[in-house]
Amino acid sequence: MLLRPLLACLVLTAATAPASAQFPCDELWGERNAVYKAAGYCFKTPRGIRAFGNAGCQYDELADVPLSARDRAKVADIQRQERANNCPR
């Protein structure tokens, strides 16, 4: 019978936790870099290349990657969440 209150507490905690607490740094990193991959960025780090590859990439510099206003806003939001979580740079 102790299990039901514990499960209810866990569900309530997960549902009310801030969005930044629900996404660990690795997931935020992946989400942010997926935006860059979709826009044609050529990754330089072993981690980025391993995760996304460079097939079809077009831009060597982040500053050259053409992002829509929506994508720029999404990246900025993810970066805020990364800072809030003290994610490594």
pLDDT in tens, 8-53: 343 333 344 454 454 699 999 999 999 999 999 999 999 999 999 9
SS3 for 41?
A: strand
Spatial contact of 29 and 82, defined as CB atoms under 8 Å apart: yes
Mean pLDDT of 56-77: 97
- Res. 4 pLDDT band, cuts 50 70 90: very low
Question: What is the token pair recorded at 28?
Answer: 């935020």
**With a threshold of 0.75, does the pTM exceed it?**
no
